[in-house]
Structure 1
Amino acid sequence: MEILAFGVQADEKPLIERAFAGHHALEVGCRTLDVFLTEDTAPIAAGYEIISSSVNADLGAGVLRTLAAGGTKMIAQRSTGFNNIDLDVARELGMTVARVSYYSPYSVAEFAWTLAMAVNRRIVRAAGRTRDFDFRLDGLLGRDMRGRTVGVVGTGKIGEAFTRIAHGFGMNLLGWDIARNPVCVELGMKYVERGELFAVSDVISLHVPLMPATHHLIDADALRSMKDDAILVNSSRGGLVDTDALVDELRLGRFAGVGLDVYEAEAGLFFLDKSLVAVEDDTLARLMTFPNVLVTSHQAYYTVDAVGEIVAATVQNVEDYLAGRRSDNVLVPAGAPGAV
């Protein structure tokens, strides 16, 4: 038996192929494609009972119906987030949907701090200058993190790992979440209302999932309430931030730095080479012009440790499906109520 994996990066390909080839009890091969799952590419999956999708795959109603018509019965998504999947339609079609509910939180937490420190210490600008043998320090003045206040929005596993690093810097810790993390409390975190966190934090980092309640959590009002010299970091989901509102604030000269590893309209852009074509996204193009903004291409999770865990969990999800087992990774089980 062979499964089809969409949106496989070059670094991921050998890890995925080895994982399936080395699982002798499973006896399942894996064909990998670098193209992403969209309405245009979904017909490629015809004849494959199991497909694996990447974080930016389009698994809306139209794609799911195309997959089901082609014989696909199981989707193994290689990410924790699943806001791109129409679970109701998957349930209606009787498709099994599984995700990776856990992988190394340190990969994302460490990268979030990489973004924060890069914009704080003007690393990109400094590297560009020294490459041209310009060794001036003008415009490169940063700030110590010790003694400053960090606001952690979402204190789950990744937020906790981010907080541990902040604690190591000697920062004052503020948190906001629907539930308190006892580890963060033990580290000295004070949980406050969201508005207070925005108003007093020197660094604000987002670590909540994207859902209707968190869409544009960072809207125009939230941005205006932040310090003029705050640093904002988003390594979670692009839809948490109203990017147009952010651009408006940046035009006013606000924020010491903004680090974004995600963007709300990243599908069809991130993970692809767009260097030889005109950029049609005016908001993203404008965002790139600000010297205090650093945008990366959804790579926070991209370490050999995290990707290895994602691949292992994906293999396990396929094995569980074929064995008729259900794990905590399953979002829609086979034969769920409402299936036709």
Structure 2
Amino acid sequence: MTKARIAVFSSKSYDKDSMNAANSKYGFELDFYKTQLTANTAKLVEGYDAISCFVNDMVDVDVLSQLDKANIKMIALRCAGFNNIDLDEAKRRGFVVSRVPGYSPESVAEHAVAMLLCLNRKLHKAYSRIREHNFNLEGLLGFNLSSKTVGIIGTGKIGQATIRALSGFGCKILCHDPYPNDVVTELGATYVDLDTLYQQSDVISLHCPLTPESNHMINRDAFAKMKSGVMLINTSRGALVNASDAIEALKSGKLGYLGLDVYELEGDLFFRDLSGQVIHDDVFGLLLSYPNVLVTGHQGYFTDLALDQIAETTLGNIKAYMKGEKTGNEVF
């Protein structure tokens, strides 16, 4: 029997290593493309049986049309979110779209907590000072997390893992989610409405999907309800935060700390080396200029365990499709 051919887009060396290792038991023919999947690169899909793509691959109407013409009906996402796919068009054309909903939620949770601690204790500033033999503590004052209230927006698997991680610090934890979960209350957290969470939280961490309802949910109006000097951490999706409004909140002091592992226009920036180029995104450039802003390049998921689980689940989703079966990871 001919091996099924899979085109893997937006792949890096670590994707190739983890996918090839997982593929030892599936036997697919995997071809890795560093390029993103776009309308301009979709011509590469000719001759494949399925494709795999990542968070910044834009699977819009044009791309879906080209996939359809190439008789490809399987799109295997290597991530939990699916906001980069035109789902209505995909469903209309009869595509199967699968995702990886359960890869190591602790990886993202731990990164969120790491960003929180780094911003609080000014570790990024201290590191630079010490390398220059500057041991002055002025400007490095932090706060005791045990005395603070942390708000968690989104209590799925990653939100729950973040709650478990933060519980050990002794802080009060408030949560908001349209779909409350008994596990969260058993962990000692309290569900509240969104306004109450904004008003009472010293730290707010985002762990919700990007939907039309959540797009730019953290905006000028939301900041106005928050405590002065609040810390905001976003390891979920960039467009949850209106970056321009965040800059205004930084200027006014309303936003005291900002940690971003994601950014709304990250597709033109993240997962590549731009160190020799001028970045033309003025909003992003301004964010980087603030000493109380910490940015990482969509690194939250990036652990060895998470990569292994992503590869295994992605290939398992494709295998199920080839056999006419379902895994429960299908978007629809």
Sort the TM-score into its range (normalised by shorter chain): over 0.9
Which ranges in structure 2 are unaligned for 5 or more consecutive residues? none
Q: Which residue does the alignment assign to 1:327?
A: 327
Give yes or no for contact 1:216–1:239 (8 Å, CA) kept in 2. Answer: yes
Q: How big is each residue's C-alpha offset from its partner over 1:35-71, in whole Å with a ceiling of 9 and x where there is no partner?
A: 1111221111111121100111110111111222233
The one of 10, 13, 25 equivalent to 1:7 is 10
Which ranges in structure 1 are unaligned for 5 or more consecutive residues? 333-340
Q: Which residue does the alignment assign to 2:146?
A: 146
Q: Could you tell me how far apart the structure 1 residues matched to 2:328 and 2:223 are?
A: 36
Q: 1:327: how far off?
A: 2.2
Asked if residue 57 in structure 1 is aligned to residue 60 in structure 2, the reply is no
Asked if residue 201 in structure 1 is aligned to residue 204 in structure 2, the reply is no
Within a 5 Å distance, the mapping from 1:146-165 to structure 2 comes to 146-165=146-165
Q: 1:309: how far off?
A: 0.7
Q: How big is each residue's C-alpha offset from its partner over 1:82-126, in whole Å with a ceiling of 9 and x where there is no partner?
A: 010012212232222111121111001110001111111111111
Q: Could you tell me how far apart the structure 2 residues matched to 1:257 and 1:111 are?
A: 16
Q: How big is each residue's C-alpha offset from its partner over 1:16-53, in whole Å with a ceiling of 9 and x where there is no partner?
A: 11211x11xx4312111221111221111111121100
Q: 1:214: how far off?
A: 0.7
Q: Which residue does the alignment assign to 2:249?
A: 249
Q: Which residue does the alignment assign to 1:277?
A: 277
Q: How big is each residue's C-alpha offset from its partner over 1:136-159, in whole Å with a ceiling of 9 and x where there is no partner?
A: 111110011012111111111111
Asked if residue 112 in structure 1 is aligned to residue 112 in structure 2, the reply is yes
Corresponding letter in the other structure for 2:266: E
Which stretch of the first structure deviates more once superposed, 131-140 or 248-257?
248-257
SS at the partner of 2:108? Answer: helix
Q: How big is each residue's C-alpha offset from its partner over 1:235-280, in whole Å with a ceiling of 9 and x where there is no partner?
A: 0001111111001111223333110000111112111222222211
Q: Could you tell me how far apart the structure 1 residues matched to 2:229 and 2:27 are?
A: 56
Deviating runs (4+, > 6 A) in structure 1? none
Q: How big is each residue's C-alpha offset from its partner over 1:279-325, in whole Å with a ceiling of 9 and x where there is no partner?
A: 11111011110000001111101111111111100110111011010
Q: Which residue does the alignment assign to 1:234?
A: 234
Asked if residue 213 in structure 1 is aligned to residue 213 in structure 2, the reply is yes
Give yes or no for contact 1:17–1:29 (8 Å, CA) kept in 2. Answer: no
Q: Could you tell me how far apart the structure 2 residues matched to 1:156 and 1:130 are?
A: 39
Percent of paired sites with the same residue = 41
Q: Could you tell me how far apart the structure 2 residues matched to 1:72 and 1:190 are?
A: 46
Which stretch of the first structure deviates more once superposed, 64-73 or 29-38?
64-73
Q: Could you tell me how far apart the structure 1 residues matched to 2:196 and 2:138 are?
A: 33
Within a 5 Å distance, the mapping from 1:165-184 to structure 2 comes to 165-184=165-184
The one of 5, 12, 20 equivalent to 1:17 is 20
Give yes or no for contact 2:154–2:207 (8 Å, CA) kept in 1. Answer: yes
Corresponding letter in the other structure for 1:312: E
Give yes or no for contact 1:101–1:328 (8 Å, CA) kept in 2. Answer: no
Q: Which residue does the alignment assign to 1:28?
A: 28
Asked if residue 264 in structure 1 is aligned to residue 264 in structure 2, the reply is yes
Q: How big is each residue's C-alpha offset from its partner over 1:191-248, in whole Å with a ceiling of 9 and x where there is no partner?
A: 1111111111111001110001111111111112211221100000011111110011
SS at the partner of 1:331? Answer: coil
What TM-score comes out, normalization by structure 1 length?
A: 0.94
Q: Could you tell me how far apart the structure 2 residues matched to 1:289 and 1:254 are?
A: 17
Matched length: 329
Q: Could you tell me how far apart the structure 2 residues matched to 1:76 and 1:187 are?
A: 33
Corresponding letter in the other structure for 2:12: Q
Q: Could you tell me how far apart the structure 1 residues matched to 2:261 and 2:240 are?
A: 12
Q: Could you tell me how far apart the structure 2 residues matched to 1:72 and 1:133 are?
A: 58
Q: 1:73: how far off?
A: 2.2
- CA RMSD, Structure 1 to Structure 2 (Å): 1.2
